[in-house]
């Protein structure tokens, strides 16, 4: 599709779509809890709908009246074998987290997804889950989907030092540990988003977190709750960057989730000199706020270490931000970008360089030379929603030529109304 180019003065207020990570987990926790869970502000994007359908396939009654999702939880023991293999679509969150839940069942489940999922490594989850006594295997003995998971009612607790900083891997182990016979200990490489830990407590479970060490005893029983999903800061990131780099702009974003394990993008914008203000509106259980961003003079910085898990999904749009800053920005310690919907290191460098940026990919990140002028090009999202949205924001800076985006439909995975919301700001 042809992208909108050469826009100045983005002004207005928009409601950011619901948090993708919390939407996924609200369905999962509702299913494995006993009793009714109601979910308000659920993200009806393709990925989260894949999670909803997966649990319907596992025998959970889930109703959607267009406003509220109602999950009639069965508890872990009430899950039933799916008649067919479960299709997770493009959702890495669905396939990785559900493996931990299936680990404690009494049956075998087959999981598959689209061509992108078929290329995403699963050993990082299969390894610890198999150590706990379930049997997870990939296609033809590989680590790639389709997968089969054969559960056991005798799951063993695990003492696991995580080799990668991954909230998905951690969450899968936590779901299994909730069903294990005894105490599991998980030690994170770096602190990652803690929605799963928060929701264990919200649904009546117990978990102890001290720094990077997590202790959880099983088996536990969870109770259905009311969940209100805040706006997704990963979706807000595209407009935070647009407001920072498009001339004469001021954008207000409502109800953005402010979980501290997710707010690295805010820290980066401020460190680069961005004009960003926060008015908190949520509470301890639902941390959220109104964000206002204005056009800013930015300076390149180095991004690495413990902040990376707090902004891993935002790195593609941060790379674009860095192309408009003075000086050089270095992103390091971000190897995880290679195993997202696509290799995001290569995808960002390839596509923005086509448009006139100067980005050098590295083994664990990229070197971005700022102050570049972008021009038109024929680009692709590679089927990755975050690459697609990043390229549309980049196109707003283009003054010469046009920008044609292949595979624009991928954006519906997390932000079906992205182009509509962008139009509100012209």
Residue 193 marked as a ligand binder: no
Residue 21 marked as a ligand binder: yes
* DSSP letter assigned to residue 256: E
Place of tokens 């931990």: 100
Q: Which two tokens stand for residue 140?
A: 């033809």
Q: Which two tokens stand for residue 337?
A: 């970008």
Residue 92 marked as a ligand binder: yes
In angstroms, the CA 111 to CA 123 distance is 14
Q: Which two tokens stand for residue 385?
A: 């929603």
Cis amide leading into 219 (omega within 30): yes
Residue 18 marked as a ligand binder: no
Contacts of 333 (CB under 8 A, 6+ apart): 304, 305, 308, 364, 365
Measured CA distances, 64 to 10, 31, 38, 282 (Å):
35, 14, 10, 25
Contacts of 337 (CB under 8 A, 6+ apart): 312, 315, 343, 344, 345, 365
The number of beta carbons lying within 10 Å of the beta carbon of residue 64 is 14
Q: What angle do CA 123, 336, 134 make, to 5 degrees?
A: 20
Closest-CA residue to 174 (of 237, 230, 132): 132
In angstroms, the CA 230 to CA 238 distance is 17
Residue 166 marked as a ligand binder: yes
Residue 25 marked as a ligand binder: yes
Given the residues 57, 232, 313, 421, select the one marked as catalytic.
Answer: 313
The yes-or-no answer on residue 140 being catalytic is: no
In angstroms, the CA 35 to CA 41 distance is 20
Residue 313 marked as a ligand binder: yes
Sheet arrangement for strand 358-362: 302-303, 328-331, 365-369, 358-362
What is the signed CA dihedral for 345, 351, 357, 360, rounded to 10 degrees? 30
Burial (CB < 10 A; 0-12, 13-18, 19+), residue 163, is exposed
Residue 120 marked as a ligand binder: yes
Closest-CA residue to 394 (of 372, 377, 411, 374): 374
Residue 124 marked as a ligand binder: no
Residues making up the binding site for 3-phosphoshikimate: 20-21, 25, 166, 168, 313, 340
Binding-site positions for phosphoenolpyruvate read 20, 92, 120, 168, 344, 386
The catalytic site residues sit at: 313
């Amino acid at each position: 599709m042809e992208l909108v180019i050469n826009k100045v003065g983005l002004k207005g207020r928009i409601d950011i779509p619901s948090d993708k990570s919390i939407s996924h987990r609200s369905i999962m926790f509702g299913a494995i809890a006993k009793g009714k869970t109601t979910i308000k502000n659920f993200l009806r994007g393709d990925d989260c709908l894949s999670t909803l359908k997966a649990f319907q396939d596992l025998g959970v009654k889930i109703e959607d009246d267009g406003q509220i999702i109602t999950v009639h939880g069965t508890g872990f023991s009430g899950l039933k074998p799916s008649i067919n293999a479960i299709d997770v679509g493009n959702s890495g969150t669905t396939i990785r987290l559900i493996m931990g839940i299936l680990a404690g069942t009494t049956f075998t489940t087959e999981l598959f997804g689209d061509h992108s999922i078929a290329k995403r490594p699963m050993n990082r989850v299969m390894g610890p889950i198999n150590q706990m006594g379930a049997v997870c295997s990939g296609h033809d003995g590989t680590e790639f989907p389709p997968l089969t998971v054969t559960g056991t009612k005798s799951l063993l607790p695990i003492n696991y030092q995580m080799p990668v900083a991954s909230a998905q891997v951690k969450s899968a182990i936590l779901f299994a540990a909730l069903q294990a016979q005894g105490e599991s200990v998980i030690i994170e490489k770096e602190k990652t988003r803690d929605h799963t830990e928060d929701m264990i407590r919200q649904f009546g479970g117990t978990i102890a977190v001290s720094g990077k060490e997590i202790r959880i005893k099983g088996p536990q029983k969870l109770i259905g709750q009311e969940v209100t999903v805040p706006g997704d800061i990963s979706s807000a990131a595209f407009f935070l960057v647009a407001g920072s780099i498009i001339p004469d702009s001021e954008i207000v974003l409502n109800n953005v989730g402010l979980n501290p394990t997710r707010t690295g993008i805010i820290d980066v914008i401020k460190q680069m000199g961005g004009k960003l203000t926060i008015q908190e509106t949520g509470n301890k259980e639902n941390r959220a706020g109104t964000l206002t961003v204005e056009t800013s003079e930015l300076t390149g910085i180095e991004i690495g270490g413990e902040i990376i898990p707090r902004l891993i999904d935002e790195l593609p749009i941060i790379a674009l931000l860095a192309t408009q800053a003075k000086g050089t920005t270095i992103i390091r310690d971000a190897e995880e970008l290679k195993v997202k919907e696509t290799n995001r290191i290569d995808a960002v460098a390839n596509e923005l360089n086509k448009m006139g940026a100067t980005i050098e990919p590295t083994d664990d990140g990229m070197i971005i030379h700022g102050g570049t002028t972008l021009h038109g090009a024929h680009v692709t999202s590679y089927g990755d929603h975050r690459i697609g949205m990043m390229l549309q924001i980049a196109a707003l800076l283009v003054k010469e030529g046009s920008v044609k985006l292949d595979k624009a439909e991928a954006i519906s995975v997390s932000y079906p109304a992205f182009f509509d919301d962008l139009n509100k700001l012209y």
